[in-house]
Amino acid sequence: MAPRTKILLTGATGYIGGSILNRFLARPDFQSSFDIRVLVRSPEKAPKFDALGFKSIVGSHTDEEVMIQAVSEVDIVVGVTDCDSIPAAELTIKGLKKHFEETGKQAFFIQTSGAGVYLQLTDKMSETDVIYDDANPDQIETLAPTQPHRNVDLKILDAEKEGFFKSCIVLPTLVYGVATGPLFDSGLSNSHSLLIPLISRAALERRRAGMIGQGKNVCPIVEIHEVADFYIILIEKCIKSPDAVPHGREGIYNLENGNCTYYDLAEAIGKALVALGRGDNSTPLTFTPEEEKKYFGAYAPLFGADCRCIATRARSFGWDPKMTTADLLGGVQKEIEILIKTGKA
């Protein structure tokens, strides 16, 4: 019998991390083929992960001793925590180096970044025509190091050149949908994305949906369960064909299936408010400067930015997402209903 693949996943209680773990739970070979360790900060949640068949490690992704040791013991690290944390990346790299020194083998580091690296500030009234292709590393290397998340990505890519690990950087776009599965049913993981609830809460408070400027800026989108599908495909390739997996500057993987303007998203929220008796007018109203500051703070300009990319390399792996912009817009009301029902609105 082949040895079980050892995987460390950080961010187990999160939206994407929980979705990936649910995919493993559904596999008939989960227990026989995988030894999955999860890093959790809550001692109370640790036994619940153990009961599901995972091995919990209590600690934070910035706990030096815990992280270096945990990373050094596995074949694959799947980072799904704070993609802006330099300390987390540095500790993971140290653990990967320890693993190489002890085993002589290169582990894989699958880092979850984000399509925020592609944000292009516009005049808030139009879209740009620059589209970043994950199969074009020369184009991606033109990104400024000051772009969101880019500093962490560059630290990983620079360290990988030393040859003691292989990196794959996954860039989900606007992830949507209510995540389902045992980890969410039990309350162990967060079932909602960040962006849509944030915009919906602002709309509920002001009783009118809104956007930055005219909302013509564009954002690529991807459904949460299809995001998890790609991670499983990538992990399997790392296990079965490690020498054939593009990594480093070739190992950038965008996740998207279509685009949505912020106006269309705001309009869907507006219609949901009217249908739920939480608003009187479904037409979005531009946020005032004061509202931008109140609801989004320093991140307000990013909500008025364009983000354009395509997932050529990710699709070349056989990833075949089916959910479209219509699914995103059609699911907004359900998501708002759940936020209201659970008191998260």
Residue 177 lies in a domain: yes
Residue 304 lies in a domain: yes
pLDDT of 325:
97
- Whether residue 311 contacts residue 256, with contact meaning beta carbons closer than 8 Å, is answered with yes
Q: Would you tell me how many other CB atoms lie within 10 Å of the CB of residue 93? A: 23
In the chain, the number of structural domains is 1
Amino acid residing at 214: Q
pLDDT of 303:
86
Cα–Cα nearest to 261, from 293, 232, 303, 230: 303
235: left (phi over 0), alpha (psi -120 to 50) or beta: alpha
Q: Which CATH number goes with the domain that contains 311?
A: 3.40.50.720
Tell me if residue 77 falls in helix, strand or coil.
strand
Residue 291 lies in a domain: no
Q: Which residue range forms the structural domain that includes residue 43?
A: 5-262+299-341
pLDDT means over runs of 10, the chain (345 residues)? 91 97 97 97 95 97 96 98 95 98 98 96 63 98 96 98 98 97 95 93 97 92 98 98 98 98 97 97 96 92 91 97 98 95 84
Amino acid residing at 94: K
What the block records as the tokens of 211 is 């956007």
End-to-end CA distance of the chain: 50
Residue 292 lies in a domain: no
Tell me if residue 3 falls in helix, strand or coil.
coil
Residue 267 lies in a domain: no
pLDDT of 133:
98
- Whether residue 160 contacts residue 226, with contact meaning beta carbons closer than 8 Å, is answered with no
Residue 277 lies in a domain: no
* pTM score above 0.85: yes
Residue 168 lies in a domain: yes
Q: In this structure, what is the dihedral angle of CA atoms 10, 16, 21, 22, given to the nearest 10 degrees?
A: 160
C-alpha dist (Å) from residue 45 to 52, 111, 250:
11, 24, 37
- Whether residue 188 contacts residue 45, with contact meaning beta carbons closer than 8 Å, is answered with yes
Residue 251 lies in a domain: yes
Q: What is the CA radius of gyration of the chain?
A: 20
pLDDT of 343:
86
Cα–Cα nearest to 171, from 234, 112, 92: 112
